[in-house]
Amino acid sequence: MKYEQKNGDVVLTDYKCLNIGLCADCGQAFRWTENEDGSWHGNVTGKTVDIMQNENEIIFKNTEKEAFEKIWAPYFDLDRDYEKICAGFDDEYLKNACRSFYGIRILRQEPWEALCSFIISQNNNIPRIKGIIQRLCESFGERLNENDWSFPSYDKIAELSENDLAPLRAGFRNKYILDAAKKLSRGEISIDAVKKMPIEQAREELMKIKGVGAKVAECTLLYGFARMEAFPVDVWVKRIMSELYPNGLPECTKGVEGIAQQYLFHWRRSLDKQEGKQK
């Protein structure tokens, strides 16, 4: 990986297996938006960015080198060799998924945002999840500029009531959001502690929160705690497992099940979309 400061931007060259648009819009994060010129707009830890991917370079607009190193490089998991990981998949379906969607990476999101987002995701569809999260940020996040809001802190949410959350139109999930925020805010559950736990224990800890079952816990561990061995099974992955892997995931995914999952998830959904278009 090579990058340099050019004017006010950071320009990244010599990278592999990194497609910003795919990372931003493959169902793991819900707050990125595409600009008209094809660049991607978002904010993490209060920093906004626009990212333009060209043929041989990726431009992080209006970004200092320090912010790139502290925020964006870790966020896009740039130190991990996805090329190597994908090459290790010696299974035809996985190879196919990795070829079709080359450049997907697991985003290292903030733990609370991942937790809260995937609580909202349950029995819900992606467009609506995005809408609810947008309203959550606009209602309770910090205003960063004219049209950007941060993801609200759990301390802020913990002060609210179910009534306050009603405008989000998250339905039965409101009480789950509140329970999660309160448990974190009171220190009943500690993000730093979960970071250090073995994964089995971390799962149990997260599942103490109302509305966090096996699936949401697994998503939180994968996207919020960068536990690549976490393997969320939603309706799509359930389909994949019964259709393609009735005897379980192939051995080659060991330790990076979550990465395999992300490719398979996106691939399987794309097949349904294609079919829908044809009639």
Partner DNA sequence: AACCAGGCGCATA
Partner DNA sequence: TATGCGCATGGT
Alpha-helical regions (H) of 48-153: 65-67, 73-75, 82-87, 92-100, 111-120, 126-140
CB closer to DNA out of 12 and 181 = 181
Tokens coding 205: 């800890």
Task: Find, among 28, 255, 232, the residue nearest to 129 by Cα.
Answer: 28
CB closer to DNA out of 12 and 132 = 132
φ, ψ of residue 250 in degrees (nearest 5) = -65, 155
Task: Find, among 173, 109, 168, 158, the residue nearest to 133 by Cα.
Answer: 168
**Residue 213 interacting with DNA (CB under 7 A):** yes
- Quick one: which of 191, 210, 229, 252 contacts DNA (CB under 7 A)? 210
**Residue 248 interacting with DNA (CB under 7 A):** no
Is residue 43 a contact partner of residue 33, using CB atoms and an 8 Å limit?
no
CB closer to DNA out of 95 and 269 = 269
Cα dihedral 18→22→26→28 (10° resolution): 40
- Quick one: which of 21, 27, 74, 88 contacts DNA (CB under 7 A)? 27
Binders in 38-97 for DNA, by CB under 7 A: none
Contacts of 40 (CB under 8 A, 6+ apart): 20, 21, 24, 32, 33, 34, 50, 51, 53
CB closer to DNA out of 127 and 248 = 127
Binders in 160-179 for DNA, by CB under 7 A: 166, 169-172
Helix (H, G, I), strand (E, B) or coil at 132: helix
Is residue 89 a contact partner of residue 95, using CB atoms and an 8 Å limit?
yes
CB closer to DNA out of 14 and 172 = 172
CB closer to DNA out of 123 and 145 = 123
Least CB distance to DNA at residue 239 (A): 8
- Quick one: which of 136, 137, 165, 212 contacts DNA (CB under 7 A)? 212
- Quick one: which of 21, 131, 138, 158 contacts DNA (CB under 7 A)? 131
Q: Please state, in angstroms and rounded to a whole number, the distance separating the CA atoms of residues 86 and 81.
A: 9
Least CB distance to DNA at residue 106 (A): 9
Least CB distance to DNA at residue 7 (A): 35
- Quick one: which of 11, 12, 23, 26 contacts DNA (CB under 7 A)? 26
Binders in 100-129 for DNA, by CB under 7 A: 118, 121-129
Chain residues that interact with DNA, rule: CB under 7 A = 26-28, 118, 121-129, 131, 166, 169-172, 207, 209-217, 219, 232-237, 261-262, 265, 269, 276
